[in-house]
Structure 1
Amino acid sequence: MRAGIVGVGFMGWIHYLAYQRSNQADLVAFCSRNESKRRGDWTGIQGNFGPPGEQIDVSNLAVYETLDEMLTDESIDLIDICLPPSLHVEAIEKSLAAGKKVLCEKPLALTAEDARRLATLGAPSDVMVAHILPFIPEFGLLVQAATDGRWGKPIAGRFKRTISPPDWIPDFYNPDTVGGPLIDLHVHDAHLICLLFGMPESVETSCTRVDGVPKFYETLFRYADDRPVSAGGGVIDSPARGFTHGYEVSFERATVQFEFAAYADGTTASIPLVILHADGTVERPDLGEGDQIDHFVDEINAAAESVRSGKPSPMLSGELAANAIELCQWQSR
């Protein structure tokens, strides 16, 4: 698969690094309005994981100023969209109209209405959404177990995802540009909940708000069979805890735990993945030594396989991504 990136920011940089490791996809082009970035100066890029940006070699890449220009490149199979969320809709529509496949960073759109419309454009594998959790081993294990039934069906789950104030994103709470913690942060867990448990019938949410946008929340997802599924998190008013995520998910014959937290003083805390079997045994799987970029390699490889085979990847499904956004909207009412 031959790909071109639009959006040379933090996620564009992470995707660039993943393409360098992939044996199934080649990055052949990118576009940027920034002249320095077009010359390969990505040194100003930094984020909350991975290495900072570097000077890259652009000699083997086709470099364009605009997406419109890049879409004329007939050698490109897929447009990898790493733009701000408010620009996703237009970029997807243009890319599909030019006959390209799309891999779009989450969220697919800022509203469920737009997301559902985009998910139904073209063939089922034409619009793929880069939700990373299923490709992270600690979370992917849940998806694998729910798929193969090794411990029976999932019967309960608690999920958490919390960050310190994202002061580097001035419009974080703007529903027209970023969408706030639900659309930017919780959408990961909403996506995973839909993968594991399906779409709930309704939700019940308590939350604090900023200008009407949920800031910190606890939600109960209601299912017809009364499975207890909940999620909480958002933004806390302290820079001391930079990031926390985790879960406890019960299957019929096992419960799985995982949690990780990073603090402002550089320390971390964790509950490494542990499986508590119904027979009383405790299992601690060895998940290997891979780093965070490897998860994005797996995600891009899944997209490449989908382009090759024409079969949509369940984990990159546009419909599933639209369901996750709809759940976020239910919680914001």
Structure 2
Amino acid sequence: MKIALLGTGFGQAHAAVYAARGDAEVVMFGRDAEKTAKAAGQFGFASSTGMDAAFEDDSFDLVDICLPIPLHAESVLRALQSGKHVLVELPLADSVEDAKRVAQAAAHSDKHVFVDMFERFIPANQALFDAVRQGTYGQLEHLTLWNLTAHLWPGASLGLKILPLEAMHSDMDIITCTLGLPQDLTVTTVARDEDSGAIDAAFRFERAAARSTVSSLMPKSFGARGGYTASFEHGVLDASSSMGFDGKPTGAVTAYTADGARELDLPAADQYTAMIGHVMDVLDGKAANQIAPDSVLDALQLTLDLDQKVNGTR
């Protein structure tokens, strides 16, 4: 598989997975020649500043887009028009209209489009999805999601302008995958400065309620922690995870029922490795695409509604 990887920021997270697999030939594309060569060199990849080649060179099988959000939709459409499979970082687009254009183009193409909904591959979240789908504990009545983090990524803003699209989109996907779109959304925010803040969002459904909280107000020693509590008619799933300076997460999911408490036996899995593994399996004909554009439209709608509440019209 020959892959054109666009972007030297978060693109490095994808590059690390490709390098560990060993079954992909990757060229990393960026605007700054020195920065791009340095990033690519860490993984033994070639580099280029000639972005057009990612779309025009017929030798590329997959275009992996890790560019700024406003460039996502048009880059996906260009890759499809060039006859390439596409993996794009979340969110798919910065408007529902553009996302629908991509979904329609993907539906009429013989090429696959994947959106990096990495949270769908986290074992703790898969346990929640399975419980809802299978009705293991009855109807889901209340879902609380939380993510609290320090500034662990130098130079990256985690302020109110950034948090909805780049930090809460995954929670919106979990909510829409388990409960659908809400009837009502209310939001409370706190801003320490332009780069640090907290958002608490509450969602009302006909027979359920949900809440998503994200905060970047934590000191560095806190690291990053997150999880969920899902209350069903006949039980509760409670998940928690933490990540320290080493970047290695730990976590657990406990099921509480009338029979007592039981920690679930979940497989160890890195979500980005699992996501890219899924992409490769689909392209090899071994799996059906679980992260196609049409599967993320509700989550994007809710994320943009949340962003509107927090930031108004951009």
1:280 is matched with 259
Q: C-alpha offsets along residues 143-198 of structure 1, whole Å, 9 cap, x if unaligned?
A: 23323333334332110112335784466558xxxx41111111111111111112
Q: C-alpha offsets along residues 251-280 of structure 1, whole Å, 9 cap, x if unaligned?
A: 34331111234568x899977321112x32
Report how far residue 228 of structure 1 moved. Answer: 1.9
1:146-161 matches, cutoff 5 A = 146-161=132-147
Equivalent residue in structure 2 for 1:254, among 226, 235, 243: 235
Instruction: Measure, in 1, the Cα distance between the counterparts of 2:249 and 2:275.
Output: 26
Q: Is the 8 A contact 1:85 1:109 kept in 2?
A: yes
1:12 is matched with 11
1:72 is matched with 56
One-letter amino acid of the structure 2 residue matched with residue 251 of structure 1? F
Instruction: Measure, in 2, the Cα distance between the counterparts of 1:330 and 1:180.
Output: 14
Matched, 1:323 2:298: yes
TM-score (norm 1): 0.78
Instruction: Measure, in 2, the Cα distance between the counterparts of 1:326 and 1:201.
Output: 13
Matched, 1:106 2:87: no
Residues 271, 289 of structure 1: CA spacing in aligned structure 2 closer, same or farther, 3 A cutoff?
closer
Q: Is the 8 A contact 1:180 1:215 kept in 2?
A: no
Query: Any gaps of 5 or more consecutive residues in structure 2?
Result: 310-314
One-letter amino acid of the structure 2 residue matched with residue 199 of structure 1? L
Counterpart secondary structure, 1:57: coil
Report how far residue 238 of structure 1 moved. Answer: 4.5
Q: C-alpha offsets along residues 27-56 of structure 1, whole Å, 9 cap, x if unaligned?
A: 4433223333554x329xxxxxxxxxx733
Counterpart secondary structure, 2:296: helix
One-letter amino acid of the structure 2 residue matched with residue 329 of structure 1? L
Equivalent residue in structure 2 for 1:89, among 73, 76, 96: 73
Instruction: Measure, in 2, the Cα distance between the counterparts of 1:66 and 1:83.
Output: 14
Instruction: Measure, in 2, the Cα distance between the counterparts of 1:167 and 1:297.
Output: 20
Equivalent residue in structure 2 for 1:42, among 36, 39, 42: 39
Q: Which moved more, 1:191-200 or 1:125-134?
A: 125-134
Q: Is the 8 A contact 1:303 1:313 kept in 2?
A: yes
Q: Is the 8 A contact 1:258 1:274 kept in 2?
A: yes
Residues 145, 3 of structure 1: CA spacing in aligned structure 2 closer, same or farther, 3 A cutoff?
farther
1:60-209 matches, cutoff 5 A = 63-123=47-107, 126-164=112-150, 168-169=154-155, 173=159, 179-208=161-190
Q: Is the 8 A contact 1:181 1:214 kept in 2?
A: no
Report how far residue 130 of structure 1 moved. Answer: 0.4
Instruction: Measure, in 2, the Cα distance between the counterparts of 1:80 and 1:138.
Output: 26
One-letter amino acid of the structure 1 residue matched with residue 44 of structure 2? D
Counterpart secondary structure, 2:147: strand
Residues 196, 2 of structure 1: CA spacing in aligned structure 2 closer, same or farther, 3 A cutoff?
farther
With CA pairs under 8 Å and 6+ residues apart, which has the higher RCO, 1 or 2? 1
Give the total of aligned pairs: 306
Matched, 1:55 2:35: no
Instruction: Measure, in 2, the Cα distance between the counterparts of 1:207 and 1:166.
Output: 21
- Please report the RMSD computed on the Cα atoms of aligned residues, expressed in angstroms: 3.4
Identity of aligned residues (%): 21
One-letter amino acid of the structure 1 residue matched with residue 280 of structure 2? A
